[in-house]
């Protein structure tokens, strides 16, 4: 049985990187998705690849009207909004602004829903990103916990995914200066992980899949760090925690 059969989702920043990995995995598990992204070329290419299970809508998450339109597209195309993945984000002084809970009215009417907000290990610890990024990601976690309390009586859950350094154009740009240099980026990122293997978007999608599915129905206001212990365990602990290479 597909784990997301019959569910529909909006994934912001769904055209590339971690968001693309989430869209691909959700569709593979039976969900239908709105790819809500500002990158039209990448979004249309992914939509062409995945076919009827997805709709691409050019969406800038800094625009409330765009977010509302993405939610309406999900409801009109697929009949509901079961999962909202607020994933779009950039490294920069403006930071992510996709976390306003505009999806709540739809989910409250349904009496169910799973909101997944992508923060970062930079949301639980200092020194892992620029000041504004770190501040914004801590804010994502605070907002998520706060909204989780408000949403719980309506059957709506709000949880946070905190990726560690994961291969994407975002990290490729940071570690090599070239966002398209994924091979070099993967090598450099992997050298930072015990076991020599950095996570890829598909690894984050595994965690998002659990958070989106009914298997996590008792998880609300939770912060899921997915970093192989890289940032959240001490160096000493990490030595006792080998990650198998593939």
The interface region with ligand NAD, picked from 23-31, 73-81, 169-177, 212-220 by CB under 6 A, is 169-177
State yes or no: residue 59 binds ligand NAD (CB under 6 A).
yes
Q: Which stretch binds ligand NAD (CB under 6 A): 47-55, 163-171, 214-222, 232-240?
A: 163-171
Q: What is the 3-state secondary structure (H, E, C) of 215-239?
A: HHCCCCCCEEEECCCCCCCCHHHHH
If you ran DSSP here, which 8-state letter would residue 16 be given?
S
**Considering only residues 166, 176, 213, 216, which one is a binding residue for ligand NAD as defined by CB under 6 A?**
166
Minimum Å gap between C-beta 154 and ligand NAD is 26
Q: Beta strand 223-226 with 8-12: parallel, antiparallel or unpaired? A: unpaired
Classify residue 65 by burial, with Cβ atoms within 10 Å: 0-12, 13-18, 19+.
exposed
State both tokens at 111.
């009496």
**Active-site residue, 133 included:** yes
Restricting to residues 106-125, which ones interact with ligand NAD according to CB under 6 A?
A: 118, 120
103 binds ligand NAD (CB under 6 A): no
Instruction: Determine contact, residues 171/189, Cβ cutoff 8 Å.
Output: yes
Going across the sheet that includes 54-58, the strands are: 54-58, 32-37, 8-12, 83-86, 113-118, 156-163, 223-226
Using the structure block, give the residue that is written with the tokens 């602990």.
237
* Residue list 34-53, contact with ligand NAD (CB under 6 A): 37-39, 42
185 binds ligand NAD (CB under 6 A): no
Enumerate binding residues for ligand NAD (CB under 6 A).
12-13, 15-19, 37-39, 42, 59-62, 87-90, 96, 118, 120, 163, 165-166, 168-171
Task: Tell me the catalytic residues.
Answer: 133
């Amino acid at each position: 049985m597909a784990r997301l059969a019959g569910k529909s989702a909006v994934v912001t920043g769904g055209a590339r990187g971690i968001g693309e990995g989430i869209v691909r995995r959700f569709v593979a598990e039976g969900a239908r998705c709105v790819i809500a992204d500002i990158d039209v070329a990448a979004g249309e290419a992914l939509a062409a690849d995945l076919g009827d299970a997805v709709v691409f809508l050019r969406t800038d998450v800094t625009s409330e009207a765009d977010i509302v339109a993405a939610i309406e597209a999900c409801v009109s195309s697929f009949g509901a909004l079961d999962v909202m993945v607020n994933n779009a984000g950039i490294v920069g002084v403006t930071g992510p602004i996709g976390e306003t809970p505009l999806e709540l009215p739809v989910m409250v009417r349904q009496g169910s829903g799973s909101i997944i907000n992508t923060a970062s290990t930079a949301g639980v610890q200092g020194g892992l990103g620029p000041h504004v990024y770190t501040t914004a990601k801590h804010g994502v976690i605070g907002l998520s916990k706060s909204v989780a309390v408000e949403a719980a009586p309506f059957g709506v859950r709000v949880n946070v995914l905190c990726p560690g350094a994961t291969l994407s154009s975002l990290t490729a740009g940071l570690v090599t200066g070239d966002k398209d240099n994924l091979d070099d980026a993967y090598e450099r990122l992997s050298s930072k992980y015990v076991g020599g293997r950095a996570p890829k978007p598909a690894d984050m999608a595994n965690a998002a899949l659990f958070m989106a599915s009914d298997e996590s129905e008792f998880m609300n206001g939770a912060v899921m760090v997915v970093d192989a212990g890289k940032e959240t365990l001490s160096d000493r602990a990490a030595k006792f925690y080998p990650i198998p290479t593939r």
